[in-house]
Structure 1
Amino acid sequence: MKSIQINKYGGRDVIGLNTDIRIPQVSPGQVLVEVKAAGVNPIDWKIREGYFQQLIPLKFPITLGMDFSGVIKELDGNKSTHLDIGDEVYGQASVLFGGSGSFAELAVTSLNSIAAKPKSLSHIEASGLPLVGVSAWQALVENIGLSKNHKILIHGGSGGIGLIAIQLAKKLGAFVATTVRSNNKEFVQRLGADEIVDYTTQRFDDILQDYDAVIDTVGGEIYRKSFKVLKNGGTIVSLVEQPDSNLAKQYGIKSIFQFTEITNERLTKLAQWIDENHVQVNIEKTFPLPETAKALDYQKESHPRGKIVLTL
């Protein structure tokens, strides 16, 4: 089978298409999936460049890729599950979490890391959903407990997490503000954003105030300035910054660092919500598997409106 692999850390030159990979074996609690499409995330080029080598040392060669959508080809018969061979599923198969990598024709992953694919989405659309969709769900529903009439600021509204978070927040009945570049204002307005801040010309912390919650996908100074827009007792969830206890105490804010955990339960709830509400998953660009190096560079160097996907 074909697979996108690296034999060392580095830039685009370390990526190779291996056309003679042995099909990975299914262990207890695992499933073999025929990958129809694979979503590209910033974590993919960061793994390539060795960002996590101290935390999680990898044994080369490894197959890159986390998100995917596909069809079950084989599963462990000793594991009780409602899924079966031939079912369309979506989820993750990252080597960081015990999978075989999703940038391949076939991938092995845990049964707990997949769920039935949203029926209203194509494989290409569904492959871009697992990480960003679960991130938005975990932040808004589980960590913030967002509800009707709450005010929330979502940074990076045109990005993968942002576009799902805006739609979910609106369905929950919240007033939504977001930060984007000027060329993405109309896009996030169509998603339902109520107040839009052009971060290239405006200071969001001078414009917004008395918000109940913030989702931070940027970190650094943006994270620190976000405390100013929150009311006392508000919540900030950051996907990139550890909690600043001094700022949290100063402003009376609950500060949470979110490590997104993709599970069958969350993927199932997300798929049900997607199908019930006809949620938009914007795919900006697709690349064929042999052009993975180009796809990772595009993800790293541009500001995609939504998701980048590899097609198989």
Structure 2
Amino acid sequence: MEGVTVKAVQIKEYGKDIEINQEVKVPEISSGKVLVKVHAAGVNPVDWKITEGYMSQGKKLNSPMTLGGDFTGTVTDVGEGVTEYDKGDNVYGSGAVRMGGSGAYAEYLSADAGQISKKPAKANNIEAAALPLVGVSAWDVISNKIDLREGQKILIHGGSGGIGSIAIQVAKYLGAYVATTARKDKADYLKEIGADEIIDYKNERFEDRLHDYDAVFDTVGGDTYKRSFRILKKGGIIVSMLEEPDKELMDKYHVNAMGQFTRINSAILEKLAELFDKGIIKVNVDKVFPLDKAGQALEYQRNNSVKGKVVIEID
């Protein structure tokens, strides 16, 4: 596809408006990577944070940069050393620039073969694009870092969000008792996906109701994170998507704390596809935008209490 140009959503400077570039070269295929025709891309909070420079950590922007990580699409070419995938395979995963990809908000992307997997057979393109980051985060924290067991109790903050909603389903699959914090209007949805106890964080303090919990999964941060230590039993664990471990609180309450930085990998994506196809987990898509409205998609993700995920439909 040398010389062919396609459409992509890019930024040239942090803090500036995104641009719909109509003449982006199709990414070159290199060793260990695959070229994918993108059908849909998932929107995550990290995407709008990148546009505003929150994730730059002083790094200079490689301008112009194509946004987006989560995607689903069809393999059109494979690089040297890639044996797991062939042309025509339907895949999903991450094509984020910060992870070595070329960016998912585009008609074509390149992605590392170790960060994709075959798409869940029973998922449509919108569902598959919504799953990678939230699903891998939820599984890695609940199953690996917390090592949640049957009969244990866990509090999941932000249960109606993308990560929280998958985490609830994973925790129930593993046999745990699940409490979650969310807005009152999300209660029916949270019961539907398996939450045993729902705390309306606007009107209730979760630490007044919950005690002796084995684990907390925090997707909110700030004061919510600090207050969560109070509900843990000695030897319990809290894992946060946003906060670094607070040693003072760890020592005070005799619990463990960890931070989470999610790295998409094929093994967990394969597990998620299996769970999806068996009906054990499902992903709720709050709203779908076309590629030309990517700016509105990012704004919607940032400014609303999203129930599940926001997705950009590309093909």
TM-score range normalised by the length of the shorter chain: over 0.9
How far does residue 276 in structure 1 lie from its aligned partner after superposition? Answer: 2.0
Query: What is the aligned partner in structure 1 of residue 277 from structure 2?
Result: 275
Cα distance per residue 1:131-164 (max 9 Å; x no partner): 0000000001100111100100000110000110
Say which is worse superposed, 67-76 or 268-277, in terms of deviation: 268-277
Asked if structure 1 preserves the Cα contact closer than 8 Å seen for 2:12 and 2:61, the reply is no
Partner residue in 2 for 1:38:
41
Residue 187 in structure 1 maps to residue 192 in structure 2? no
Out of 69, 72, 75, the position equivalent to 1:72 is 75
Deviation per residue, 1:249-268 (Å, 9 max, x gap): 11111101111110111111
Show CA shifts across 1:173-209 (max 9, x none): 0000000101001110111100110000000011101
Contact between 1:56 and 1:96, CA under 8 Å: does it hold in 2? Answer: no
Counterpart pick for 1:222 among 206, 224, 236: 224
Query: Deviation of residue 56 (structure 1)?
Result: 3.8
5+ residue gaps, structure 1 = none
**Superposed displacement of residue 80, structure 1:** 4.3
CA distance in 1, matches of 2:110, 2:65: 13
The alignment status of 1:201 with 2:203, answered yes or no, reads yes
State the SS of the aligned residue for 1:154. Answer: strand
Counterpart for residue 307 of structure 1: 309
Q: What is residue 90 of structure 2 aligned with on the other side? A: 88
**Tell me, which stretches of 5 or more residues in structure 2 are unaligned?**
1-5
RMSD: 1.0
Q: What is the identity percentage for the equivalent residue pairs of Structure 1 and Structure 2?
A: 49
| Partner Cα separation in structure 2 for residue 154 and residue 217 of structure 1 | 8
Q: TM-score, normalised by structure 1?
A: 0.97
CA distance in 2, matches of 1:136, 1:117: 18
One-letter identity of the residue aligned with 1:275: D
**8 Å contact 2:173–2:280 — kept in the other structure?**
no
State how 1:253-264 maps to structure 2 within 5 Å.
253-264=255-266
Aligned-residue offset at 1:120: 1.5
**Separation in structure 2 between the aligned mates of residue 237 and residue 140 of structure 1, nearest angstrom:** 9
* Distance in 2 (alpha carbons) for counterparts of 1:277 and 1:294: 31
Count residues in correspondence: 309
Contact residue 288 and residue 311 of structure 1 kept, 8 A:
yes
**2:295 & 2:127 partners in 1: Cα distance?**
21
Distance, in Å, in 2 between the alignment partners of 1:7 and 1:220 is 31
Q: What's the CA shift for 1:235?
A: 0.7
* Alpha-carbon distance in 1 for matches of 2:147, 2:10: 40
Which of 7, 11, 16 is the equivalent residue of 2:12? Answer: 7
Structure 1 runs (4+) greater than 6 angstroms displaced: none
Q: Which digits, 9 at most, give the CA deviation of each residue in 1:235-282, with x for residues without a partner?
A: 101010000011011111110111111011111112112212342210
Distance 2:282 2:94 in 1: 20
- The offset of 1:117, in angstroms, is 0.7
Structure 1 residues 64-143: aligned runs within 5 Å: 64-76=67-79, 78-143=80-145
